[in-house]
Amino acid sequence: MLERIHRIKGIGLLHDADARAHGLKKASFIYADNGRGKSTLASLFRSCSTNRPELLVNRRTIDGNNDQEAILQFSNGQRSTFQNGSWNTERPELLVFDADFVEQNVYAGGQVTADQRKNLLQFALGESAVVAQQEYDLADNNARTAASSLRETSNQLEVLHRGLTQTQFQRIAEVVDADDQISVLNGKIVEAQNISLIQAKALPQQLVLPTLNVDDVFNILGTSLENIDLAAEQQVKEHLNSHSKNRLEKWISDGHSYGDEGNCLYCNQPLDGVELIQAYRSYFNQDYNQLKSGVSRLTGLINARCSNEIIDRLKSRFETVSAVIDGWQEHAEVIPPTFDESSARDALSNIENLLNALRERKEVNLLDSVGSEEDRNEVSRNWQVVLDVVGACNDSISNATAIITDYKNNLAALSIDNLQNQIRDLEWAQIRYRQDVIDLFSQLALEKNQDVAAKAEKQTKKDALNQIMQATLESYKDRINELLRGFGAQFLIPNIDFNYRGGLRSDYVLQMRGANIALNGGVPDFKTSLSEGDKRTLAFAFFIASAESEPDLANKVIVIDDPMCSLDLNRKQQTRTVLKRLHDSCEQIIVLAHDVHFLRNLRDDVLRTGSPNDIKCLKLKSVINRYSDFDVINLDQECESAYFKCHRMLDEYIVGTAQSSMEIARSIRPMLEGYLHRRFPNLINRGLLFGQVIDLISNAQPSSPLINAQNITNELNEINRYAGQFHHDTNPAADQVQITDSELLSFVERSLAVIYVG
């Protein structure tokens, strides 16, 4: 229980308020005029309850120089102190209904916001769902944390796989030789960019198969002459040698060609019987000469047919082809061609050696046929070796040409975009299997499992909380509607629910005359359909329904600030009934109000079943510099009418407790006027002066009830003549009239006797 407010400094109009002399009770009623600091005091209680220093910091005394301070004394010597902008301890047992409660939980500016519905749900559930909601909040926070971690890891991966979904990126297969493949593809891109130049490059040409024709050689070797006279040849040779003349043999041979006649063409002598001439005729035989000529040509023919140039030309052509193929190696993997030069040269050399051997035999045996069919076959076999060497080389050239041709055909189909896409895929693979990315995917898998588990846990806690909230809110709704009906409200809450959109919050509608009222906008809407009193009543019903459902209500301190704002008489009565019931159930109730009559009536309600010792009535009064401070208040005196006030003052004068004789003298006439108005209600016009009232009674007709007071008119006139001198309406110099206490006492007694005796 809040036992005492020790001190409040620097907070609103409570610039230096000291309430140490005024202990609080189970029922504490604090009266204050509007603008006297009542809402400031309520905010102080709320700040202490929720540990929200900003509620006080924002209420610093505008023209004050005191540091903000507040000291509240609770039971068992416990204190809550506000200093240096903070509370040393909060007091959650304080439940405060004030303008802040309305604005935070119900409405503001004629609208009901999402935040207010969220706060209202928290307040409505109270401690009944604290554990369940704490568990849900923890699970929700864990789920958010897990989702945030998962999202953060996904975002880290997203930077690495822009253009691919995470699943596509994760499913990329590893490529161990990605660098090599990328290098090859980059080369192909270069090729594709230079495709016209590559297509124009020469292809390798096959070696031309050489030919070997040795028929003329074998024809010469195979020529034989049977009619040649070898003795004649010997004789001619000796003759020619004896003369030692150059070109002699030719000269004789040419001359012999004219020797068909019988005489010498030179000397005209007969030639018959000349032995040398007969030898000439045998030696210079045409067939023989042709044979000799052919044999003499064999060396040249053999050298020509078996020339190394044949192999040299093949080798040169082979080297050209090899160079062409080497030029393609940068584009395609081509097996270089081979040329067995050694075998070719050996085979050709074998042919040359064989033919020269035959030539030498022919030269020795000029007239004999040299060279057999086997010799021809041997030449053919060796030549075939040469052809096989060339054929094998051409086969390797053909293989290379096929590879190059295939490459060129494929080159025509190369797409730079496709190649770049392949490179990109390989680069994706490289990134995918970087160690840091592998670690991220491992972390992602772990966080996915954690996310699933956190969501499942959140759902479990949510289901448990839902069950509690559904039961709590259904009861809460019924109690609110019961309160609204008690207050005579023309609206009800047909349904109150909750949702998790944007955080856990309440979701309810109001219904008036069968139509749903929109809480924020719409037609009809909350702002225009409900009066300010209705809105305040709704907020008060929310608060009371929640407070009454508190399982620990017996230990709660309820603070109510202006519960009857704009309420009619019926609502005031119902409000007192509700507060009385709350008073009976809680540890302490503190009501702040600017309606002193409401406080007095509430006090009376409490007194019917309670003790006066459990009630404390205070007020916030104006002090120096128009600040406020605490003081006691007599609710009965504050609420009494002018008649009862004057009656009380006259009684006090008789017993000697009155302080001002002039005030007593001026109270006689109003007391008697009040008495007559109450004795004869509606018969005496309130605008009449006291003397006119006496005249009205004196002149009353027998049918008028006023006739019953004609017995006191003389007394009334005498009292009026005395009392009238103290009123300005009958005596402008009323302030200068000297009062004699004994005389005043006599007229006071006579006035009271009129009332008591009649």
What are 62-80's pLDDT values in tens digits?
A: 888 899 999 999 999 999 9
- Residue 590 near residue 30, CB atoms below 8 Å: yes
Q: Which residue has the higher pLDDT, 288 or 226?
A: 288
Residue 14: phi, psi to the nearest 5?
A: -85, 70
Structure confidence at residue 571 as a pLDDT band (50, 70, 90): confident
Are 257 and 271 in a shared domain? yes
pLDDT at residue number 122: 63
Are 275 and 190 in a shared domain? no
The reply to whether 678 falls in a domain is yes
Structure confidence at residue 444 as a pLDDT band (50, 70, 90): very high
Q: Which residue has the higher pLDDT, 499 or 715?
A: 715
Are 645 and 735 in a shared domain? yes
The reply to whether 27 falls in a domain is no
The reply to whether 656 falls in a domain is yes
Q: Which two tokens stand for residue 673?
A: 């006027």
Q: How far apart are CA 746 and CA 725, in angstroms?
A: 16
pLDDT at residue number 115: 66
pLDDT at residue number 245: 73
The residue segments making up the domain with residue 658 are 640-757
Last residue of a domain, one of 364, 388, 415: 415
What's the mean pLDDT when you consider all of the chain? 86
Q: Which two tokens stand for residue 739?
A: 């009062």
Q: How far apart are CA 4 and CA 630, in angstroms?
A: 11
Q: Which range (17-26, 185-194, 561-570, 686-695) has the least confidence?
A: 561-570
Are 302 and 254 in a shared domain? no
Last residue of a domain, one of 243, 265, 284: 284
Structure confidence at residue 109 as a pLDDT band (50, 70, 90): low
How long a stretch of residues is the chain? 758
pLDDT at residue number 593: 93
Residue with tokens 């005031």: 572
pLDDT at residue number 521: 62
Q: Residues 6 or more apart from 146 whose CB is under 8 A from it?
A: 447, 450, 451, 453, 454, 455
Are 314 and 394 in a shared domain? yes
Residue with tokens 């009376």: 604
Mean pLDDT of 469-498: 82
Structure confidence at residue 279 as a pLDDT band (50, 70, 90): low
The reply to whether 724 falls in a domain is yes
The reply to whether 327 falls in a domain is yes
pLDDT at residue number 676: 93
Q: How far apart are CA 448 and CA 151, in angstroms?
A: 10
Q: How far apart are CA 14 and CA 392, in angstroms?
A: 118
Structure confidence at residue 346 as a pLDDT band (50, 70, 90): very high
| Stated pTM of the model | 0.59
Structure confidence at residue 433 as a pLDDT band (50, 70, 90): very high
Are 252 and 401 in a shared domain? no
What 8-state DSSP symbol labels residue 359?
H
pLDDT at residue number 125: 64
Judge whether residue 567 has pLDDT over 60. Answer: no
Q: Which range (26-40, 101-115, 419-433) has the least confidence?
A: 101-115
3-state secondary structure of 292: helix
Q: What is the 3-state secondary structure (H, E, C) of 710-748?
A: HHHHHHHHHHHHHHHHHCCCCCCCHHHCCCCHHHHHHHH
Judge whether residue 286 has pLDDT over 90. Answer: no
Are 684 and 645 in a shared domain? yes
The reply to whether 439 falls in a domain is no
Are 198 and 319 in a shared domain? yes
Judge whether residue 107 has pLDDT over 60. Answer: yes
Last residue of a domain, one of 353, 381, 415: 415
Q: How far apart are CA 440 and CA 394, in angstroms?
A: 58
Are 256 and 327 in a shared domain? no
Q: Which residue has the higher pLDDT, 123 or 478?
A: 478
Mean pLDDT of 573-591: 95
Give the rounded percent of residues in the chain with a pLDDT score beyond 70: 86
Q: Domain count of the chain? A: 3
Are 241 and 382 in a shared domain? no
Are 278 and 369 in a shared domain? no
Q: How far apart are CA 223 and CA 371, in angstroms?
A: 10
Judge whether residue 694 has pLDDT over 90. Answer: yes
Are 240 and 321 in a shared domain? no
Mean pLDDT of 687-711: 92
Q: Which range (103-112, 130-139, 185-194, 676-685) has the least confidence?
A: 103-112
The reply to whether 393 falls in a domain is yes
Mean pLDDT of 674-692: 91
The reply to whether 42 falls in a domain is no
Q: Which two tokens stand for residue 301?
A: 């023919």
Q: How far apart are CA 629 and CA 634, in angstroms?
A: 16
Mean pLDDT of 727-731: 84
DSSP code string of 162-203: TTS-HHHHHTPPP-TTHHHHHHHHHHHHHHHHTHHHHHTSPP
Helices and strands, number each (H, E), in the chain = 28, 14
Structure confidence at residue 632 as a pLDDT band (50, 70, 90): very high
Structure confidence at residue 57 as a pLDDT band (50, 70, 90): very high
Q: Which residue has the higher pLDDT, 180 or 515?
A: 180
pLDDT at residue number 560: 96
Q: How far apart are CA 126 and CA 477, in angstroms?
A: 14
Q: How far apart are CA 584 and CA 86, in angstroms?
A: 33
pLDDT at residue number 82: 97
Give the rounded percent of residues in the chain with a pLDDT score beyond 90: 50
Mean pLDDT of 292-302: 85
- Residue 55 near residue 47, CB atoms below 8 Å: yes
Nearest residue to 72 via CA among 94, 99, 100, 105: 94
